[in-house]
Structure 1
Amino acid sequence: MAEYETGGESLAGRVALVTGAGRGLGRAHAMALAAAGAAVVVNDISVSVDGTTAEEYDLATRTVAEIVAAGGKAFADRSDVSCFRGAATAVRCALENFGGLDIVVNNAGIFTGTGVGELSQEELERCLAVNVIGSAGTVRAAFEHMRGRRYGRVVNTISEAGLRTGCHAGAAYAAAKAALWGLTMALSDEAAPYGITVNAVSPGARTRMSGAHLDRDGSDLDLAPEHVSRVVLALVAEAAADVTGRVVHAAGGEVREYRLRREADSPLVRRVNGQEDHGCRS
């Protein structure tokens, strides 16, 4: 599995669950975790990027076959994590097949780029269900086991679309990914007393979800998903016990940390306080 050399510590003996791991980022994460020695539950229900159409192939089984062929351990799970029941089933798959669960990578997500004027309630609910309820439900089910062992690593997947302007990703997707920032912060507080870390990764990678957007922008960066998987490995490592409640952006081999902080002195604050003319724009 040379493509997925970890360059870090071994995860031998650890069990990981990666949702949406049939292709793209999820597949890269599953392959990287397996290369590091973890047994991996590959969760995927094989649907289109907007979650409405079934794919031709069983993507979870295909990823598992790749991992096993390379000498790793993996098991396919086809639970729909967009509801708490399905999320609990995915967690139970790890417990029943590998005897435990140490690492959860919440990667499953769907995309709708619909503007708010054309957005239907059904589209919004579907996007929130997969991206937000899926992540919350999976962690909820995993926490019961992790708390008892006083160990766990959770990585959620957010997006710059929910962190800044200029991404033009659509209201539903941006809202869902922004919600995951808050979920990550709240879960990190709740998990800390039990030795469980909760972080988030904001990926910049060429996948079926991002390909069209990147082509429009004419990007020529090396946006291989494996660059993001390297960061995921760092966040789930034994040595990352002191890293929680953090958001890391990874793209093209570059790594940045997103930080949210209050500022008492900014152009907008001065304007609101009547200390600056209305021409200021910052």
Structure 2
Amino acid sequence: MQFHRVHIEVTNICGLACSFCPPKVNSSKTMSLPFFEKVLPQLSPYTKTLAFHVMGDPLTLSNLEEYLHLAQKYGFEVELTTSGYYLGKTKIQTLFHQAVRQLNISLNSYNKNSLNMTFDEYIDTVLAVCSKKMQHYPKPFINLRLWNLDDICSEAHYNRMLFDKLSSHFDTPLDENEIYKNKVKSIRLASKVLLHFDNYFEWPSLNSTHESDGTCYGLKSHIGILANGTVVPCCLDGDGVIDLGNLNETTLESILASKRARDMIEGFREFKAVEELCKKCSYKDKFSQTYI
């Protein structure tokens, strides 16, 4: 069993309250360095890429560099995902540590919060980080995420401000109408700097009225490990509803070989959602369409 990446939640603290994210159910928690190091050898047979995110923002950690050092020590590459709010408070050497292969910045976080910074302060910091990468750090990618597209163009005003700033900084035309009309997925702004588009999505919830079968990349391309050690089948189960086991109590090998995990894998092969949360998840429907 091989995964493209394992989402390991080094912290579930993000410091913001984006309206598109569900309220956090679990207590605020940061994974201790000793536990993090204990887990890393167990991940080696399954992946070479760690994403420091399920819920939470890794840039809230003052000692993030220590986690990156350990990841590098055990031969992993790391993806960092951030709202961008803490970019100015994080050393550039940490953002582009040798272990970091990609920095994901969620640009749609700004206008979904009441932040004590102006739009220009926010985006200018993002652009400064992009410039530093282009000048001094050729290895990592920067993925600027704008996952707020919808059929009614509800965020058109905010996106227009973003496009103006990005177009000017990167000297790249961004046609708002074309992006919406043609459902553009990504635009290259510079070498290894991409602007990535997607739609708003509904986080899976047991309270959802949605119900469907289908397939999913959970337990196929990735798994998640929450800050408290709980292993979950996908990166959208931030509450640990599908608790496959806890690495404080057992091994990852045992968890992945468990009946519950195997039943999910077999179910997805047959386009069947075994777990209740999976039935309620509408995000999986986009994957099912690719198999038709």
TM-score, scaled to structure 2? 0.29
TM-score, length basis structure 1: 0.30
More helix by share: 1
Of structures 1 and 2, the one scoring higher in RCO (CA 8 A, sep 6+) is 2
